[in-house]
Chain A
């Protein structure tokens, strides 16, 4: 049963990612990406990592995607040409994806907690996860924090030039 759910979810994640990168309308792409994240979160859950699953939903599907949508709307990106064909063709993939994800979620919720979340006798509680992160992988966490600093420096540098660049463009005109 778990195996079947896993394969369904994997297929859903793949399909959603594929749709996300082929859409011309950025809002549509984001919606598909959210689907992919949901499917991934469930897969993490099946594999015995509930905390990662929760973060996947909260951070990726929640925070980051909302940020994406926000920026897309703020920049008023012109949507690509509207999808052709009858309405159901446009809606079918979304309905299929969200349907299958919802069904899988329900199945997992109703399954026996003991039998539950499947996998090869492996279950990482938030406590285990914390220990792993701050005991074994403490250095890695530190490096990642450094890395975010440099990335911020870079982003700041690249972004800072916007004003001068616009001015330069004005001069050309």
Chain B
């Protein structure tokens, strides 16, 4: 018995998994506390979650420039993981801040909500810090299962049910692809360790062109591209985003996307560097397809949640451009972009959370007529977020796009950069239309139902500060993103 314990402790380095560990412990504690709380009282749970995120942030920052490895090389808390951890924590924090009053308004003040957000954040962290395909896969599962439940949380709303079920079925399907790809790669290299796969492939160049390797790479990409919501694996996005509770949609648009990018980057750049020409040509096409489908379809949307869903597809396309470039500028550009996207998109969703009536039937373009003058703070905030999503300076969106397209041009993908820029020109149209409705149309209503709940307002303020900080003086964060890549 003692022998077994010793055996299990051999490779243990808790510092390497401390952030996710802290989150899970807090999550379980909240589950327990919920038992003793009266039904419908969730404010304390949300406060504890915020504390949990802050503690985790402090713990996670210990790994900055102080990489921790452990568990037989299955997990690493390096700069890369730390940077992404901060992004996830930010996404989770903003989500939780905007959730409390929202859940009460919609009639679902459920205590399980907060632990589930924390658990899915922990899953995202495992994806970013996993250095073994198994860890990454399990991280993806943890992330997804929590999100399946969260997406279908409004049990008595058909749309939410549909969102949960659709996300679950398609997600399970895509995870199957991912697992199949992992199995094939394991068959090739005899290991699931990302770095070892890379070593094996560089030692056996003949295996690089092997159909099994290529098939493994392709199947694995499908799994991640599904989570990123890249075309042609984006079909689930609009329905799920529209049907899920708005804060959950906000989290879904930032957290899992960043996590999947983290995993994809680690696997492709560290493990499958030998196949770079294969995966760049694959991602090149998919990036263009994703940008075009996302932007062109978004033009036709009148529901704002749906419009933001398609816009999130388009943004996945921009970020893919950075991965195609596959140089220091492009890759650190993705890190920066994911952080910027988290700020601007969650900010926009926070405004939607406040602007919605119960049931959110009014979150359409028409429903925003004259909103800007009736609710000046929310109007200005929404305008800043939309300008950032468009990529207009001096906002975070501009700095991020600039970074990524500079990477693409540097690697010689000039046409890709041009197509990307043209796509952002297309995107102007539908983002601008929201501004047009907010300010140029006469108000139909007085928006008296909009009350400025503290949590959501705080999250909006944080997002504004972030968007402007990253837009005006991005130097420090860019420096960190550069240090964070491999």
* Touch A–B, Cβ below 8 Å: yes
Please list the residues of chain A having a beta carbon within 8 angstroms of any beta carbon in chain B. 131, 134-140, 143-144, 146-147, 149-151, 153-154, 157-158, 161, 165, 168
Interface size class of B (residues with CB under 8 A): 35 or more
CA distance A158 to B112 in the complex (A): 11
Chain B residues with Cβ under 8 A from A151's Cβ? Answer: 145
Contact at A139–B119, with CB atoms within 8 Å? no
Which of A131, A140, A149, A161 touches B138 (beta carbons < 8 Å)? Answer: A140
Chain A residues with Cβ under 8 A from B116's Cβ? Answer: 150, 153-154
Chain B residues with Cβ under 8 A from A165's Cβ? Answer: 155-156
Which of B10, B72, B135, B155 touches A158 (beta carbons < 8 Å)? Answer: B155
The 3 residue pairs across chains A and B that have the minimum distance between CB atoms:
A154-B149, A139-B71, A143-B138
Return B245 CB to nearest CB of chain A, in Å. Answer: 13
Which of chain A's residues has its CB closest to B115's CB? Answer: A153
CA distance A151 to B142 in the complex (A): 9
Sampled A-B contacts (24; CB under 8 Å):
A135-B8, A137-B134, A138-B8, A139-B70, A139-B135, A143-B138, A143-B139, A144-B138, A146-B119, A147-B138, A147-B142, A150-B119, A150-B145, A150-B146, A150-B149, A151-B145, A153-B116, A154-B112, A154-B146, A157-B110, A157-B112, A157-B149, A157-B153, A161-B156
Which of chain B's residues has its CB closest to A149's CB? Answer: B28
CA distance A63 to B156 in the complex (A): 33
CA distance A26 to B395 in the complex (A): 57
Which of B11, B12, B28, B126 touches A143 (beta carbons < 8 Å)? Answer: B126
Chain B residues with Cβ under 8 A from A146's Cβ? Answer: 24, 119, 122, 142
Chain B residues with Cβ under 8 A from A150's Cβ? Answer: 115-116, 119, 142, 145-146, 149
Chain B residues with Cβ under 8 A from A137's Cβ? Answer: 72, 74, 134
> Beta-carbon contacts of B97-140 to A below 8 Å, as 1s and 0s?
00000000000001010011001001000100000101100110
Chain A residues with Cβ under 8 A from B126's Cβ? Answer: 143
Contact at A134–B72, with CB atoms within 8 Å? no
CA distance A51 to B11 in the complex (A): 25
> Beta-carbon contacts of B16-57 to A below 8 Å, as 1s and 0s?
010000001000100100000000000000000000000000
Contact at A138–B71, with CB atoms within 8 Å? yes
Which of chain A's residues has its CB closest to B161's CB? Answer: A158
Chain A residues with Cβ under 8 A from B74's Cβ? Answer: 136-137, 139-140
> Beta-carbon contacts of B147-172 to A below 8 Å, as 1s and 0s?
01100110110000000000000000
Indicate if B206 sits at the interface (CB-CB under 8 A).
Answer: no
Contact at B146–A135, with CB atoms within 8 Å? no
Contact at A158–B152, with CB atoms within 8 Å? yes
Chain B residues with Cβ under 8 A from A147's Cβ? Answer: 138, 141-142, 145
Chain A residues with Cβ under 8 A from B110's Cβ? Answer: 157
Please list the residues of chain B having a beta carbon within 8 angstroms of any beta carbon in chain A. 4, 7-8, 10-12, 17, 24, 28, 31, 70-72, 74-75, 110, 112, 115-116, 119, 122, 126, 132, 134-135, 138-139, 141-142, 145-146, 148-149, 152-153, 155-156
CA distance A168 to B134 in the complex (A): 43
Contact at A131–B156, with CB atoms within 8 Å? no
Q: By CB atoms of chain B within 10 A, which of A150, A151, A165, A168 has the most?
A: A150
Q: By CB atoms of chain B within 10 A, which of A144, A151, A153, A165 has the most?
A: A153
CA distance A165 to B24 in the complex (A): 31
Chain A residues with Cβ under 8 A from B28's Cβ? Answer: 149
Contact at A135–B11, with CB atoms within 8 Å? yes
CA distance A135 to B11 in the complex (A): 8
Contact at A134–B7, with CB atoms within 8 Å? yes
Contact at A140–B7, with CB atoms within 8 Å? no
Chain A residues with Cβ under 8 A from B70's Cβ? Answer: 139
Chain A residues with Cβ under 8 A from B142's Cβ? Answer: 143, 146-147, 150
CA distance A143 to B115 in the complex (A): 16
Return B62 CB to nearest CB of chain A, in Å. Answer: 19
Beyond contacts A135-B7, A139-B75: 5 other A-B pairs, Cβ-Cβ < 8 A, are A135-B8, A136-B72, A154-B145, A157-B110, A157-B149
Chain A residues with Cβ under 8 A from B11's Cβ? Answer: 135-136, 138
Chain A residues with Cβ under 8 A from B24's Cβ? Answer: 146
Which of chain A's residues has its CB closest to B28's CB? Answer: A149
Chain A residues with Cβ under 8 A from B8's Cβ? Answer: 134-135, 138
CA distance A161 to B153 in the complex (A): 11
Chain B residues with Cβ under 8 A from A168's Cβ? Answer: 156
Which of chain B's residues has its CB closest to A156's CB? Answer: B112
Contact at A135–B148, with CB atoms within 8 Å? no
Which of chain A's residues has its CB closest to B73's CB? Answer: A136
Q: By CB atoms of chain A within 10 A, which of B75, B115, B145 has the most?
A: B145
Chain B residues with Cβ under 8 A from A138's Cβ? Answer: 8, 11-12, 71-72
CA distance A168 to B156 in the complex (A): 9
CA distance A136 to B31 in the complex (A): 30
Return A107 CB to nearest CB of chain B, in Å. Answer: 26
CA distance A158 to B161 in the complex (A): 10
Contact at A140–B135, with CB atoms within 8 Å? yes
